[in-house]
Amino acid sequence: QQQVKQSPQSLIVQKGGISIINCAYENTAFDYFPWYQQFPGKGPALLIAIRPDVSEKKEGRFTISFNKSAKQFSLHIMDSQPGDSATYFCAARNQQGGTSYGKLTFGQGTILTVHP
Amino acid sequence: AAGVIQSPRHLIKEKRETATLKCYPIPRHDTVYWYQQGPGQDPQFLISFYEKMQSDKGSIPDRFSAQQFSDYHSELNMSSLELGDSALYFCASSLVDSGANVLTFGAGSRLTVL
């Protein structure tokens, strides 16, 4: 059972366009939502993250929008560049401790291709 | 800045053989996580250690075991390898006690089982 559902599977955008990736979750115990960027043969790298007490967070060209009532969050990449071409994973974590100690549950990933 | 170091980067084994992957976390990080990523798949959580004690367990096969040593490095041991074990194995570390608890991933070890 996929606890974090991500869409689309793949996305093609022209340079300068906006890339939008969506995620939805079921577990209301999740309280930390990071986005990771992964290039081929490399490990996932943290891009941006949000907590559910905030509806939006922006860092440069990257923005996370969070809708707690709908249990959805999305990544917007403004002015997309060819160098942004990578696989993007949303993730969720129960940071309330117990025995979870911060393990991440990932979405299925989105392969983003930005054409020049 | 120091990152998470994984070795070996690539490993080729035959079916039924044994493999050991090593992970050296970022200095002073107190938690290590192991993830398995199959081709075109999302990373799946295997196991984690907090201060050298197993803290959480995911979908790790019984043929796999892991431990964290006194110097905080961790090893993932995989026995009776199967073709389906071919994957990228990532180690990540974090400082849980900092409150921020950001996971930093290593570059991964690619295991190929023939």
Mean pLDDT within B12-35 = 95
Does the pLDDT value for residue B12 go beyond 90?
yes
Tell which residue, B19, B113, B6, B103, has the closest CA to residue A101: B103
pLDDT tens digits, A4-56: 999 999 999 999 999 999 999 998 888 889 999 999 888 999 999 998 899 99
Does the pLDDT value for residue B100 go beyond 80?
no
Does the pLDDT value for residue B65 go beyond 80?
yes
Place of tokens 């079921």: A26
CB B77 within 8 A of CB A78: no
Does the pLDDT value for residue A83 go beyond 90?
yes
- What percent of chain B lies above the pLDDT cut of 90? 75
Report residue B83: phi and psi, to 5°. Answer: -55, -35
The alpha carbon of A34 is separated from its chain's Cα centroid by a whole number of angstroms, namely: 6
Residues with Cβ within 8 Å of residue A97, at least 6 apart in sequence:
none
| Helix count and strand count (H, E) for chain B | 0, 11
Q: Which token pair is B49?
A: 């250690």
d(CA B1, CA B21): 23
Model confidence at A63, in pLDDT bands (50, 70, 90)? very high
Among the partner-chain residues A44, A95, A102, the one whose CB lies closest to the CB of B43 is A44
The whole-number pLDDT of residue A29 equals: 85
Residue A10 CB neighbours (<10 A): 10
The whole-number pLDDT of residue A97 equals: 55
Distance from CA of B100 to the nearest CA of A (A): 9
DSSP code string of A43-79: --EEEEEE-TT-SEEEETTEEEEEETTTTEEEEEESS
pLDDT averaged over chain A? 91
CB B90 within 8 A of CB B104: no
Chain B residue whose CA is closest to A48 = B102
Termini Cα distance of chain B: 37
CA A107 vs CA A91, A93, B78: distances in Å: 6, 12, 26
d(CA B25, CA A102): 16
Mean pLDDT within B77-102 = 88
d(CA B92, CA A106): 14
d(CA A89, CA B38): 14
Between chain A and chain B, how many beta carbons pairs sit less than 8 Å apart?
A: 61
Among the partner-chain residues B31, B43, B56, the one whose CB lies closest to the CB of A106 is B43
pLDDT tens digits, B69-80: 999 999 999 999
